[in-house]
């Protein structure tokens, strides 16, 4: 069965420019990687969990912030890994510098027997849609396209 994640694409208009809120994954694999490494805050959910509730839970876990507003469902995408991503857009104002992420343990280096604790998210930022296209996981550019379509910009 294919893996599924749910996430939120938070946006704002600042000085007439549409900006989106993205996160950068933590851990040694992602250190120094920028292009194609950023993502919407998202995470996997169980079969019996409502995807929008999972998206809101994952957002809070990965950023330490909650988002309320009118959630607009975006089209479901499939990433290169085969994972399906269910996403909702919501307009909100967030402080990217105030992100506090949950952590996880990973074996590093791989098969070394040594374990380290790393944040799931090491940074967050606001990007114009043009900048976001360069930063975001390539499959998630479809979410940006759908957002623009829904906002008719």
Give 12-36 pLDDT, tens digit per residue: 999 999 999 999 999 999 999 999 9
- Domain 4-151 top-level CATH class: alpha beta
In terms of DSSP H, where are the helices of the chain? 51-63, 129-135, 141-151
The pLDDT of residue 153: 58
The pLDDT of residue 2: 82
Taking the domains of the chain in order of start, what are their residue ranges? 4-151
CA distance 123 to 103: 13
Residues of the chain with pLDDT under 70: 153
Note the pLDDT tens digit of each residue in 32-55: 999 999 999 999 999 999 999 999
The pLDDT of residue 26: 96
**The pTM is what?**
0.95
Between the alpha carbon of residue 22 and those of residues 17, 44, 92, 110, 135, the distances in Å are 16, 17, 13, 28, 9
């Amino acid at each position: 069965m294919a893996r599924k994640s749910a996430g939120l694409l938070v946006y704002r208009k600042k000085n007439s420019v549409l900006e989106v809120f993205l996160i950068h994954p933590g851990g040694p694999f992602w250190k120094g990687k920028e292009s194609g490494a950023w993502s919407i805050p998202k995470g996997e959910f169980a079969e019996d969990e409502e995807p929008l509730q999972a998206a809101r839970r994952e957002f809070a876990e990965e950023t330490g912030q909650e988002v309320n507003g009118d959630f607009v469902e975006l089209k479901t995408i499939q990433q290169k890994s085969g994972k399906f991503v269910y996403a909702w857009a919501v307009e909100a104002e967030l402080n990217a510098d105030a992100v506090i992420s949950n952590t996880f343990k990973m074996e590093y280096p791989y098969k070394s027997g040594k374990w380290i604790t790393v944040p799931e998210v090491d940074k967050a930022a606001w990007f114009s849609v043009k900048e976001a296209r360069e930063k975001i996981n390539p499959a998630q550019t479809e979410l940006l396209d759908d957002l623009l379509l829904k906002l008719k910009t």
